[in-house]
Amino acid sequence: MAKDHEFQIDPRSSLLQVPQGPFGVHYIVAAFALVFALWHVATNVFLNEPGLWQNAIHFAGFGFLAAVTISPWGSKANQTWAWIADFTYGLLIAAAALWVASAESGLYERSLAVTGQGWQFGAIDWAAGLLLIFAAIDLSRRVSGWVIPILVITSLCYILFLGSWLPGVFRSASLPVDDVLFRTLYNDEALFGILTTISVTNITLFMVFGGFLVVSGASNFVIELSKIIAGRIKGGAAFVAVLSSALTGTISGSAIANTASTGVITIPLMKSNGFRPQFAGGVEAASSTGGQLMPPIMGAGAFVMASYTSIPYGTIVAVSVVPAILYFLSVAAIVRIEAVKYDAGAEIDLTVDKGKLLSGGLVFILPLMVMIWMLLSGVTPSFAACWAILALVVTSWGTSLLARMTKNGMFKPVNMGPSRIAEALISGIRSAIMTAILLAAIGIMNNAIVTSGVGNGFSLMIAQWSQGSLALAIVLIAIASLVLGMGLPVTAAYIILAILTAPALAGLMADGVIVEQLVQGISDPSQSALFFLVDHPLAMQVSEGMSKAEAWSLIRAIPFEVAVTIRPVMVDPALQNTFLLTAHLIIFWLSQDSNVTPPVCLAAFVAAGIAGSRPMKTGFESWKIAKGLYIVPLLFAYTPLISGDLIEVLQIGFFALFGIYATNALIQWYAEGPIGWVTAPLLVLGAMGAYWPLALLANLLGAALILSVIIWTSRVQRTSVVQVAN
């Protein structure tokens, strides 16, 4: 895949430039991208297009941009014929999308007039529909490789003919070609369905907002602020990487983009600070991966999660704050251990550029405050993003005016004039191309899953293999996320896994509640009668109570189709929503591991290129450093970290920090000094006590054991240093 004529923006010029094309076509592309970005703002604030039209325009625009900016022709991409071919292809995609939107009512009228003869597509309808399916497959290959296209083709084959050939729960009836085309184009879960709605109403606007933050100099502020916070700490350069990646994640929501942007600064800084090259790369990759977990943006996954769970985006952001902090502190803990172990992090100049700090500070803080305030007040994310963009532009004007009035030469804010605003708009649209194309393509696969019911079969498989064990189910999902992540962006991996496994995971959590009721005995006749459908000796004794082992035996005997009937009756709806959100958060976190887990870990490989270290070594380092991706999901599953009140959440989070430190110390076999076979068991016992949910005495004892190891190893380390010095 080549990107030889992907458009570029020259930040030093007021012109929006792209590589030269014939007849000035590169200026047309830049101008279209600018207008398209403005349309995204307008359609979410002022306009009121029908959903199908809005989604069709969205795909039409991004299909055109993907076709003309990501060329399949390689080194021939700059030739006139290649430009003409790409440009024509892009126009045909856009025309096909708009035709499909305009043809819906006519299709219904013709099909109703001749009932019983299928959908009455005309020749243009067939051509437009098939071109859109081909474009979704082709463009997704261009932006992310072959995995998504293969999955889309397989899913279409599944509902066309393949499902009728398969045995058991994966068997599905074959559908006529016209029915498959109609469902692919017009269903709520399809090409122009719910995933494309998420892209047009939320994701693209937040990426445009990210473009404004970058162009306005806010990213410079992030680096300088991190220097202030971490400059006086041993290993401060690595802490700069952790902090800057956490804050930059708010801007981009992409691990690879974070690594590439902040890594060119932080990785050389860490190396000069005495950290091993592969460790420096691993820290940046792990920290950048956490950027997608960091509120308030959290990458594209949070918007998808809000749509699938019907839980407000603001709620998802709010419950994600403490887990995100835990993740970044887990990275910081292993940085501290590494700094002590290898005596890194001393004698480095972390001089703060006050000009960058002051210039970028207001345009970073005030717009984010506006966004967070509006999200928490209940407005839609798209509306909050638009107001945050406006706040950023107004803030930049205000700071520029203040600089001129005070005549402070050090204070040099970026004035967001027309050229800068255009640059930010185009930058945001450019960064959104891959996500927009992938979400539309995954919509085709989503439609096949919903139409065939294969998602229920996959959930049943997870339930059977896990044998009612939540931990085993999480392990299976983690393995699946790793395999999928080898060929997919993490957002795509999350969506696919959420569709297939979230119901099963949420169901297992609900089963735990039902087990407790079975142990006590179910006195309500309407509830106990539900178990008469289960072929098990204990089914008739549910009103009498039973042991926990017997209850689990009964639960495992419940067929999947019966379980989905029993759970809504036996479990409170609010609690079911909590379980669904917890399941999605677990899957969302686990889907991030492909960035940092060998053999394919793109963020780590990008970091290795900057660090000059071996890619696989860097990958293993990043995998060790990012252990929070596995620890926090277990906290989601086994503690009320999501569902508890503020005091409970803070207690779990605070003591989990001790457990995380102990876990990292055991991985590194080092704390504040070397650990041995006496201190290691203390760390194990301490971690168990610290992780124990809402058991204050166990938490305090665990924290005390870990602190005692820290103090002891610190004294041992100081003693050995003195002895070496003497």
Tell whether the model's pLDDT for residue 702 goes beyond 50. Answer: yes
Are residues 328 and 254 part of one domain?
A: yes
Specify if 318 maps to a domain: yes
Tell whether the model's pLDDT for residue 150 goes beyond 80. Answer: yes
Are residues 104 and 147 part of one domain?
A: yes
Question: Domain boundary at 149, 176, 203, which?
Answer: 176
Tell whether the model's pLDDT for residue 636 goes beyond 90. Answer: yes
The reported pLDDT for the residue numbered 5 is 39
- Min mean pLDDT across 74-83, 414-423, 535-544, 562-571 is at 74-83
Specify if 516 maps to a domain: no
Question: Domain boundary at 159, 176, 193, which?
Answer: 176
> How far from chain centre, in Å, is Cα 607?
19
More confident residue, 360 or 725: 360
Which range scores top for mean pLDDT: 19-23, 342-346, 679-683? 679-683
Are residues 278 and 144 part of one domain?
A: no
pLDDT, one tens digit per residue, over 342-367 is 887 665 556 777 777 777 777 888 88
pLDDT > 70 in the chain, percent: 89
Q: Which residues contact 553 (CB under 8 A, 6 or more apart)?
A: 536, 538
Specify if 625 maps to a domain: yes
The reported pLDDT for the residue numbered 295 is 81
CA distances to 111, 401, 587, 653, 700 from 632, in Å: 52, 46, 11, 10, 20
The reported pLDDT for the residue numbered 222 is 72
Tell whether the model's pLDDT for residue 429 goes beyond 50. Answer: yes
Look at the chain and count its residues. 726
For the chain, the domain total comes to: 3
The reported pLDDT for the residue numbered 6 is 38
The reported pLDDT for the residue numbered 373 is 86
How far is it, in rounded angstroms, from Cα 6 to Cα 26?
A: 10
More confident residue, 102 or 526: 102
Are residues 714 and 686 part of one domain?
A: yes
The reported pLDDT for the residue numbered 2 is 37
How far is it, in rounded angstroms, from Cα 60 to Cα 54?
A: 10
Are residues 169 and 40 part of one domain?
A: yes
Q: What is the DSSP string of 183-237?
A: HHHHSTTSTTSHHHHHIIIIIHHHHHHHHHHHHTTHHHHHHHHHHHHHTTSTTHH
Structure tokens at 449: 């899953």
Nearest to 21 by CA among 35, 34, 36, 31: 31
How far is it, in rounded angstroms, from Cα 597 to Cα 478?
A: 11
pLDDT, one tens digit per residue, over 367-400 is 888 888 887 787 888 888 899 899 989 988 888 7
| Block residue for tokens 């089963």 | 511
Structure tokens at 201: 């109403």
The reported pLDDT for the residue numbered 724 is 55
As a whole number, mean pLDDT of residues 269-296 equals: 85
As a whole number, mean pLDDT of residues 104-116 equals: 85
Q: Which residues of 41-80 are buried (b: 16+ CB within 10 A; e: fewer)?
A: bebbeeeeeebbbbbbbbbbbbbbbbbbbbbbbeeebeee
How far is it, in rounded angstroms, from Cα 567 to Cα 509?
A: 10
Are residues 68 and 43 part of one domain?
A: yes
| Alpha-helix runs per DSSP H in 558-678 | 560-570, 573-590, 602-611, 615-625, 628-638, 646-668
pLDDT, one tens digit per residue, over 534-565 is 888 888 888 888 988 888 888 888 887 788 88
As a whole number, mean pLDDT of residues 587-602 equals: 82
Q: Which residues contact 404 (CB under 8 A, 6 or more apart)?
A: none
Cβ atoms of 274 and 344 closer than 8 Å: yes
Specify if 564 maps to a domain: no
pLDDT, one tens digit per residue, over 686-695 is 999 999 999 9
Cβ atoms of 135 and 143 closer than 8 Å: no
Query: What's the mean pLDDT when you consider all of the chain?
Result: 84
Tell me which H or E stretch contains 264.
Answer: helix 255-272
The reported pLDDT for the residue numbered 238 is 77
Q: What is the DSSP string of 645-665?
A: -HHHHHHHHHHHHHHHHHHHH
How far is it, in rounded angstroms, from Cα 322 to Cα 294?
A: 10
How far is it, in rounded angstroms, from Cα 660 to Cα 668?
A: 12
Are residues 240 and 341 part of one domain?
A: yes
CB atoms within 10 A of CB 11: 12
Are residues 698 and 603 part of one domain?
A: no
How far is it, in rounded angstroms, from Cα 597 to Cα 369?
A: 34
Cβ atoms of 40 and 203 closer than 8 Å: no
As a whole number, mean pLDDT of residues 48-56 equals: 91
Reduced to 3 states, what is the DSSP secondary structure of residue 635?
Answer: helix
Q: Which residues contact 452 (CB under 8 A, 6 or more apart)?
A: 158, 159, 163, 172
Specify if 16 maps to a domain: no
Cβ atoms of 629 and 289 closer than 8 Å: yes
The reported pLDDT for the residue numbered 330 is 93
Are residues 149 and 34 part of one domain?
A: yes
How far is it, in rounded angstroms, from Cα 394 to Cα 385?
A: 14
Q: What is the DSSP string of 393-453?
A: HHHHHHHHHHHHHHT-TT-------HHHHHHHHHHHHHHHHHHHHHHHHHHHHHHHHHHHT
As a whole number, mean pLDDT of residues 50-71 equals: 93
Structure tokens at 439: 């979400």
Nearest to 500 by CA among 564, 565, 456: 456
The reported pLDDT for the residue numbered 74 is 66
Q: Give the pLDDT band of residue 528 (cuts 50, 70, 90).
A: confident
pLDDT, one tens digit per residue, over 666-676 is 988 998 888 88
How far is it, in rounded angstroms, from Cα 504 to Cα 258?
A: 33
How far is it, in rounded angstroms, from Cα 710 to Cα 718?
A: 12
Are residues 689 and 605 part of one domain?
A: no
How far is it, in rounded angstroms, from Cα 248 to Cα 625?
A: 19
Are residues 35 and 149 part of one domain?
A: yes
Q: Give the pLDDT band of residue 4 (cuts 50, 70, 90).
A: very low
Q: Give the pLDDT band of residue 426 (cuts 50, 70, 90).
A: very high
Specify if 135 maps to a domain: yes
Structure tokens at 548: 């926990």
More confident residue, 234 or 417: 417
Q: Cα Rg for the chain, rounded, in angstroms?
A: 27
Domain that holds residue 637: 221-351+599-643
Structure tokens at 403: 């600089």
More confident residue, 639 or 166: 639
Question: Could you give the maximum distance between any two Cα atoms of the chain, in Å?
Answer: 98
Specify if 95 maps to a domain: yes
- Min mean pLDDT across 469-473, 635-639, 721-725 is at 721-725
Are residues 314 and 260 part of one domain?
A: yes
Cα torsion at 239, 243, 246, 248 (round to 10°)? -120
- Min mean pLDDT across 356-370, 433-447, 613-627, 644-658 is at 356-370
Tell whether the model's pLDDT for residue 435 goes beyond 60. Answer: yes
More confident residue, 56 or 297: 56
Specify if 91 maps to a domain: yes
pLDDT, one tens digit per residue, over 393-415 is 998 888 877 777 766 655 666 77
The reported pLDDT for the residue numbered 12 is 33
Cβ atoms of 109 and 125 closer than 8 Å: no
